[in-house]
Structure 1
Amino acid sequence: MDKNEQEVLKEETSNRKEIHKDNKREEEVEDREEQRSCIVLVGKHGLRETGNAATLYRLRDHVISGSYTCVLIDPGDVNKNDPASEVISIREQYKISAIVGIHLYRSSSVLLKCKELDIPVICYFGGTDVNENIRDPQKLNTMTKVAAAATYLIAFNGDMKRRALSLWPFLKDDTIKILPQAVTVEPDQGFECYSWIRESEKSFYSTVATTSCVNNENEDDTPKGNKSHPFHAVADIEYQNLENQRKWLFDGRPKKNDLSFAEVEKCPSCSSIFNLNAKNRRLPLPEEYNPLVVLVAGLRPVKDVMYVADAWSEWQGRQGKGKMIIIGPTLDDDYTRNAMAHARRLNGIIITDKLSPTACQAVIFNATVVINTSLSEGMSAAILEAMALGKPVLARNIPGNAAIIKHGVNGLLFNTPEDFVKELEHLQQNPELVETMTTNLLNYLHSNHCPEMEKKSLLQILRDTETIATNRKAM
């Protein structure tokens, strides 16, 4: 064998060794991936603009940060005849430690099949579960099966837990964990709110025959008011006031207050709640939009978005200015069609299609007040986002809202449409109240809705679930 042949042989041998090493490394990586526990999250997330989707993607980030693999399943995409097939497919690739559902009823088909597959089940109560679905015997029966199958159930607040224990007395108290939703906001700094409102008005009053903007009348009767009315300074509290509140929120612990809504550990830091760049300023809107009242909700009956519309329209007609904007995706075609027809007959109110989360937060940031009119809520993400952006909140007095808002302290609650108008005027006439509530609501968020605390609590629940499953197998 000559020298050249020896060199070639040596090189080939070296290459084979390197290939062998690479293959071994790949096998080790694959082995590690197989060994990593997988958490499957089940919930509707096709529309990124809904509260459910925001919750699921935030929980996914928490799960991944805990060194788990995470897979999302939308129950609407699952084969109804074989809801277990997708989970079985995932289990062929990963070691599934638990399946976490959002809403007992909506996720029930997948969760119950997972129980049959001996996969531990965890499920969050939705507001619809404990407020609406319990009225339907068939849905209640299905939710009862899920509740019985779950290792842990998670409630956003104490009221939801109490209702669940009343509905299902077989549940043990320590089976239901209270874990308030966290909130993070990052409004789009380039979003032109004024231009968007103008375009939304034109679109709303034009004849567009689509599901998301239904118009059953050919009309161009945009209500116009020209009355002059002195408007108090609430809507003109400038960004620096919010910036002052943020200084102590980010640079140090908040001051003590009497807001003790949730029994959770205090967060070490909540700077991730509000990632607003100093360049982002709330640009003053024309006086005709003062006050700017914003309602963010998917358009379906339980959100009752037209609840205060007539009272607002009458008030707005007297003032000659102000705008109410309802933002949200169509979730019920008939309801949306009727709501839009109703709104077109009123003063100062428009309904617009969904916005991206960051654009929607930019609109909230420019609002005078954010409102919630729902018949029932678990925990409104829109209310939490408004609070994180330093906005006053006016919410219907229902258990889910009252769990977040202490009337007159960190927000305002109303019982009737007339009460809504009264509280709105009270808000306008008392800028000092707005400033005090802003301080209090930021304190409240810091103590109760911190992403780090939510992550820590969720990961502990997952670890406890794994321990319980391991102990059961060892018995």
Structure 2
Amino acid sequence: MRLLLLACLRARTGNATTAARIRDHLHAAGHTCVLKDAFTYGSPAEIANLTSTDEFDAALAIHLYKAGRLLQGSRIPFGIIFGGTDVNEDIKCREKCQVMGAVLQEARFAVAFSVEMKELAAAEWPDARKKIYVQSQGIKTTPSETFDWYRFLQNADWHRKDPSVHLGIIGPAVDPLFSSEVKEEVKRLPGVHVLQELPQQELHAALRRCFAVVNSSTSEGMSAAILEAMDLDIPVLARNIPGNAAIIKHKETGLLFSTPQEFVMLSKSLMNDPIMEKEITTRAKDYVRKHHSWEGERKTYQSLVLRLQ
């Protein structure tokens, strides 16, 4: 089949990485999968024109609202992959919720990254429950062997007391205004650094030089960055929100915090307890291998896409 995969493809973001991984799974099964950035299209009519002139047989979309809405009324069958924004944020907006419900109704199948995500969606759209499959993100880390880079860890007051402690903030500037505000604030915070995004292999190599990976998001679907850190034997400290708590068991496979003070306390306890660090990273790696198999993800998508024939 010739498949269209619509997603938000900002370079080196989670969405782009997930889309590329799914494309590779489908290519391995002999399909042709073409990635297109959802942000470059304004309406279903534009996608309808694309699919008719480029002769696509079927389509996939990551995010019901951001990408899936462009497939409404499509002449070709399609499947949908939930994004965290769908069930954590967009579902709160009545207009977006209605659009997502309509997209879900048309889709042949939908994929949620976790049981919790499926249940949130099924509670809002109960008629779609039977078409929602659960497939966690598949993880395979391949750190560069030649990349030589290190620095990172926590907050400014801590850095003043212990200059060896750094916090590195790394990734693309998705929101230019917010990014500029962060950079201005960081200028006043010794030990905190804003760093440019890196190719995935170099990022994985950088993570291996860190003591821990921090996820401070207030909204997550399933953080691949957390799972990649687990696979790389790096302890994770993450904000205690549903998306993170779904993949981290506190003090077993990582540490969950709710306040800055709790974050500092847990970080210090981790730094001072090498036995706890080793136990957490060992259990976390076992968890990723059992529940986030890259091979299992490949089989699922290769099977589901046959429903679009």
TM-score by length of 1: 0.63
- Mapped partners of 2:268, 2:296: distance in 1: 36
* Equivalent residue number for residue 61 of structure 2: 101
Q: Which residue of 2 aligns with 1:149?
A: 106
Match of 2:166 among 320, 323, 342: 323
Matching residue of 2:96: 139
**Aligned equivalents of 1:161, 1:109: Cα separation in 2:** 19
Structure 2: give runs of 5+ residues left out of the alignment: none
CA distance in 2, matches of 1:126, 1:330: 19
8 Å Cα contact 1:183-1:384 kept in structure 2: yes
Q: Secondary structure of the equivalent of 2:249?
A: coil
In the alignment, which residue of structure 2 is the partner of 1:348?
Answer: 191
Determine the C-alpha separation between the residues in 2 that align with 1:111 and 1:82: 10
Query: 1:188-218 CA distances to partner (integer Å, 9 max, x unpaired)?
Result: 2222204xxxxxxxxxxxxxxxxxxxxxxxx
Letter in 2 for 1:436: E
- Indicate if the aligned counterparts of 2:62 and 2:68 stay in contact, CA closer than 8 A: no
Which residues in structure 2 correspond to 1:254-333 (within 5 Å)? 292-293=152-153, 312-333=155-176
Q: Give the structure 1 partner of residue 270 of structure 2.
A: 427
Q: Which residue of 1 is the match for residue 84 of structure 2?
A: 127
RMSD between aligned residues? 1.6
1:339-363 Cα offsets, whole Å, 9 max, x none, are: 1111111121011121111111111
* Alignment check: 8 A CA contact 1:313 1:348 kept: yes
Q: Return the offset for 1:79.
A: 5.5
Deviation at 1:421, TM superposition (A): 0.5
In structure 1, stretches of 5+ residues that fail to align are 1-36, 195-288, 294-308, 467-475
Deviation per residue, 1:229-256 (Å, 9 max, x gap): xxxxxxxxxxxxxxxxxxxxxxxxxxxx
> In the alignment, is the contact (CA less than 8 A) between 1:407 and 1:413 conserved in 2?
yes
CA–CA separation in structure 1 for the residues paired with 2:212 and 2:46: 46
Counting only pairs closer than 5 Å after superposition, residues 385-424 of structure 1 correspond to structure 2 as 385-424=228-267
Equivalent positions of 1:211-250 (< 5 A) are none
CA distance in 1, matches of 2:7, 2:73: 15
Percent identity of paired positions between Structure 1 and Structure 2: 35
* SS of residue in 2 equivalent to 1:170: helix
Q: CA deviation at 1:381?
A: 1.3
Structure 1, residues 266-296: CA drift from partner, whole Å, max 9, x if none? Answer: xxxxxxxxxxxxxxxxxxxxxxx5xx32xxx
Matched letter for residue 185 of structure 1: T
Kept in 2: contact 1:83–1:109 (CA 8 A): no
Query: Contact between 2:3 and 2:60, CA under 8 Å: does it hold in 1?
Result: yes
Q: Could you tell me whether the CA contact under 8 Å between 1:78 and 1:86 is conserved in 2?
A: no
Task: Report the CA distance between 1:46 and its aligned residue.
Answer: 4.1
Instruction: Please identify the structure whose Cα radius of gyration is greater.
Output: 1
* 1:316 to partner: Cα distance: 2.3
- Deviation by residue 1:101-135 (Cα, 9 ceiling, x = unmatched): 10011113432142xx1x22211111111111122
1:60 corresponds in structure 2 to: 23
Equivalent positions of 1:155-174 (< 5 A) are: 155-171=112-128, 173-174=129-130
Please say if residues 6 and 36 of structure 2, whose CA atoms lie closer than 8 Å, have aligned partners that are also in contact.
yes
The 1-side partners of 2:214 and 2:189 are apart by 18
**Distance (whole Å) between structure 2 residues aligned to residue 50 and residue 109 of structure 1:** 21
Tell me the amino acid that sits aligned with residue 412 of structure 1: L
Work out whether residues 2 and 31 of structure 2, in 8 Å CA contact, stay in contact via their aligned partners in 1.
yes
